[in-house]
Structure 1
Amino acid sequence: MSRPAMITYEQIAAAADMALGQGLQPTMRLIRERIGNVGSMGTVARLLQQWRASKAQVAAPALSLPVELQRAIVTFTEQHVAAAQARLEASLDEQQKENADLAEENERLCEHVERQRIDLELKTVELVAAEARTRQLGADLAQARAECEREQQRAQQARIELAREQLRLEWLPRMESELAELRAAVASERTSKVTAEQSAAVLAVQRDDLANRLDEARAHAAQEQAKLAQLQARLDMLTGELADARVAVAEAVARQGPPPAMAVSEGHPIHNTAGDDATSSDANPHADTTMSSEASTPLSAAVASPERSAKSSNRRDAKVDAHSLKDGA
């Protein structure tokens, strides 16, 4: 509903003075028409009554007139009063009509106010309902947003799972190939393991056989060592006997003198004369010792032969043991 336009006292006074100057009775309807039908009738009536009160406050000046003039004035006044009374009656009728209009407008305004009050109550109820709906819509919106966020999270999780599945599907052939390679490698490792176990078993048997042979060789070596000790003891004994024999030979040679030279070397005769022998003896004081050594050489060879025989026997046994170890390996 639009509010009534604001009107001022000056507008009402100007319109009323203009109507009065034109010989018209300044009524509320006329004045309201003169100001453009703005404002309410109550406001126009209040301001127009204020204008009339200001006009009634103007005092008439005191006059001293002749009797005839006074009579004329009285007659004129009576006529004027009659006319004024007629005008007042007309004005009263107009005021009554205006009062009726004001009452009608007041009633209309009261009805309008009542309608406004009812509308206000309805608007208040609608506003409360709208606020309730707004709160409900806010709650529904918050719930919808939460549900939307949950749906977005589920969609994101679904996209992640889809990406994982796609990645798994992309890697599946490669994984199958790698699995086949791993299976082949495992089979090869198993075969290698079986072969290695078989080789280990064979090596264990060979190791046991070599250990047995080594034990036998050690036993044989112990036996040979014992034999060698016996031969060494015999050698020591023969060495002592040889020393005794050499001493005996030296003593015999010393007692018998030098033997005659019978040997001929490469067709040259050896002269065996006493002078030569003496000369040789004088020239080579060590000749007797050399002859004694040459005379004892066959005996030394005979004595040393058992030692050489023992060493040869040891070398043959060592060669036999080495060949046996090679055959076992």
Structure 2
Amino acid sequence: MARQGITFEQVAAVADALAGEGQQPTIRAVRERLGATGSPNTIHKHLSTWREARPVAAAAAPELPQALTAAIAAEIERAASQARGEIEGRLVQAQAEAAELAAAGEALEAERDELAEQVAVLTTERDTLAGKAAQQAADLAEAQQRIEREQQAAEAARVEVATARLKIEAQAERQAEQATEIERLRAALTEAQQGRTTAEQQAAVLGAKLEAAADRINRAEARAEQIEKQAEKTAQQHAEARAASAQETRQAQAERDDARKVAAEAREQAARLAGQLEALQRSQDTQGAAKNAATSQK
């Protein structure tokens, strides 16, 4: 909205007051009395209008001789006419310049008011844009925070995916190791089965040997008992003839000692065979446990 300028009434009232106080109503004096407001061009225009509207007081003429008065009047009229012409020319020129300056000043004032209005509009727009910019900055900060949260969530998801991938790779590696271990256990089981078959064969052979040894022991013990009985019977029957049958008795004792020696050797061999059979049985039990573990893992 354009600013209201200084009116003619305000300038005329101040000029009348200054003239009443015996001061010259100049543009500066009027403007200072108005409170340093108003355009100098506008004040000049209103002062010119005020001066043109003021009555001019006539000066009282002195009493002089008529001839002198006539001569002075003629000279004054001539000088005044000449000066009036020059003054009127200058006045016309000054008025034209003043009117041109006043018009230019009014145009400048109008342009200034228009610019002031534009400044006010631009200030309002600037304040509006500043508010929008502040809101946009707040929205941008919120969007930045949201982007950072999304980036953190994406990073956490990438870490989880990498961790899951490592777990899968470790599980695959463990599965491969388990498959290798299962193959090894299968091979060991096959070997153990083959060894068990061999051990069973060896056990059968050792069992046969053990039975043979036991049979030998039984036969040797039976023979020793028979020899002892026979020796006792011979001793009883030939007590009176011991001297004659001493050789036969010693031979019988020797045979009995041999039989006991054979029986002792047979017992020792049977003990060794029993130990080997027990060790073979433990080996078969261990292989059976390994087979069961491999089957459960499979």
Structure with greater contact order relative to length (CA < 8 Å, sep ≥ 6): 2
TM over 0.5, shorter chain? no
TM-score range, shorter chain: 0.3 to 0.5
Bigger CA radius of gyration: 1
* TM-score between the two structures when normalised by the length of structure 1: 0.36
